[in-house]
Structure 1
Amino acid sequence: MGVRAVRGATTVEADTVEAIDKNVQELVSAMLERNSIHKDQLISILFTATPDLHAMFPAAAARALGLGDVPLMCAQELSIDGAVALCVRVMMHIEDDRARGEFHHVYLRGAVGLRDDLPD
């Protein structure tokens, strides 16, 4: 098995526990479903959040999906002028033999278009 990475991002409408929890769960679920990734394939998941998000750790939303035994880490995204606000990004590391180009990176809500160069 090779190690692969799948990317994704979403935005939230407000810096609240409810909004972050709902949208991060939606994103992680979509990444798993669109790529037919089983929980046992997960190596780790890295979450970043823009500096305007403080209400909760995005990883807590993933734990609520039953991913508590997967290593999860959160970090703060760089504060760049003009960057998408209220944004959570995800990099999911998995064990899989598919080629990189076979994965579907998932960008939802206000994050659509962040990486138009990646296959959807």
Structure 2
Amino acid sequence: MIRGIRGATTVEANQPDEILNETAKLVLEIAKENTLQPEDIVSVLISTTPDINTAFPAKAVRTLEGWQYVPTMCMHEMNVPGALPLCIRVLMHVNSDVNQKDVQHVYLNGAVVLRPDLVK
């Protein structure tokens, strides 16, 4: 069965190294919290707020050891007034037998305000 796992993080600045590092941390934390291997992952969709444009976050995923064959795609979020700035969101589709209520969604840095009900 395919499950969707959500996550988000923020960066301090629109800098390539920070975007790539924080994306990698987020994706690895989602995998760790859900006991996933790259082979379990169907695809990863990554969106950024429009104020992030100096690097493709998908590059961070493709460069992780064992993740080079995981289909990954980037896009921008809607530009909604008052939205959390400098935010990177992830939707990971995975093969899993875990019940939907037991999926561990991961929110890091300033993104914890997006879903406080899901933050440990």
Please report the RMSD computed on the Cα atoms of aligned residues, expressed in angstroms.
1.1
Structure 1: segments with no counterpart, 5+ residues: none
What's 1:15 paired with?
Answer: 14
The answer to whether structure 1 residue 27 and structure 2 residue 26 are counterparts is: yes
In the alignment, which residue of structure 1 is the partner of 2:77? 77
In the superposition, the TM-score normalised over structure 1's length comes to 0.95
- Paired residue for 1:47? 46
- Report sequence identity in percent: 41
Larger deviation, residues 36-45 vs 64-73: 64-73
Cα 1:85–1:119 shift into 2, 3 Å: closer
Counterpart position of 1:57: 56
Cα deviation per residue 1:42-84 (whole Å; 9 max; x = unaligned)? 0000000000001111100111113220110111000011111
> C-alpha separation between the residues in 1 aligned to 2:48 and 2:119?
23
Measure, in 2, the Cα distance between the counterparts of 1:44 and 1:13.
27
**Contact 2:112-2:119 within 8 A present in 1 as well:** no
Q: Separation in 2 of the partners of 1:117 and 1:34?
A: 16
Opposite residue 24 of structure 2, the aligned amino acid is Q
CA shift, 1:119, in A, is 6.3
TM-score (norm 2): 0.95
State the aligned residue count: 119
The residue type paired with residue 58 of structure 1 is: P
Residue 94 of structure 2 corresponds to which residue in structure 1?
94
User: Contact conserved, 1:103 with 1:119, CA < 8 A, in 2?
Assistant: no
- Whole-Å separation in 2 of the counterparts to 1:46 and 1:18: 20
